[in-house]
Amino acid sequence: MNRYALTGHPLGHTMSPLIHERLFALSGITDFSYELVDIAPEKLPESLDIIKGYNGMNVTIPHKQTVIPFMNELADSAKRYNSVNCIQNDGGKLVGYNTDCDGFLMSAELLPISQKVGILGCGGVGRMIAIETALHGGNITLAVIPQDVKNAQILMAEILEKCDNASVRIADIATLDEGFDLLINATPVGMYPKTDACAVADSVIEKSSSFFDVIYNPTETLFMKKARSHGKTAVGGASMLVYQAVKAHEIWYGGKFRTEDIDVIIKAVEDSVNAMNK
């Protein structure tokens, strides 16, 4: 039997089993198990044999960096972010990947990331999105709260180091008042249960064209509702969550999937989140 798992601590409620079991089913694979392996941080150094017991693993916090010394090889994506969220066990050789960036790019495939892009926030996921956007030629505005200006400056320097011709600036999110081809919420503002909050002023939403929100709970944030009320395209975080898993299956065994089938899984995740919140 092929064994796969998610490891992290604490794992709590996760959509991973639902997503991965459906992806295996789409691939016609029935001889598999997908397990949740909770490893406390202090136990990780002695857990190499546990990890090697699986054909592949997903990795979540707090192990995305600390698992790196176990890897025999790192893919470019993992090197770029010094973060591993997917492990392939290739006959005992552990290869670390970061599929979060693939999840973003695949779910934002029809969005204008190569144009004028406003990114709200500069934390972990915001950093990844900003760098990927720069690599794809986007003209970036990092919109942050005053407390995060120093972190935004560090990120801007990293972007300019990785992308020689990058266009990036920093703005105060509270005074932001301009439009973007793509506006991305990479903050936790609007996340369940505080769903009545939006990270940016209505005027920015009214002036912008396309929207992406990393939050998947709720499935439609206030940020997205406001965008859609103007008839504009808004993609939610459930898409990125599913597509990073899709990339893992491509890595593990060369899985190939149709967009319409992935859309069904995204809808299943959204339905599950909505049911959970009732």
Q: How far is CA 86 from the centre of its chain?
A: 12
Measured in residues, the chain has a length of: 278
Token pair 């599913």 in the structure block, residue:
242
Strand partners, 182: 117, 210
7 and 57 in contact (C-beta within 8 Å)? yes
Of the residues 43, 52, 64, 162, which is catalytic? 64
Q: From CA 34, how far away is CA 262, in angstroms rounded?
A: 19
Say if strands 182-185 and 116-120 run parallel, antiparallel, or are unpaired. parallel
Strand partners, 155: none
64 has catalytic annotation: yes
Q: 188: burial class by Cβ within 10 Å (0-12, 13-18, 19+)?
A: middle
Query: From residue 139, how far is each of 59, 117, 130, 169, 173 by CA, in Å?
Result: 31, 6, 10, 9, 17
Short-list 199, 179, 186, CA closest to 119 = 186
Short-list 259, 269, 247, 275, CA closest to 110 = 259
Say if strands 167-172 and 139-144 run parallel, antiparallel, or are unpaired. parallel
Catalytic residues: 64
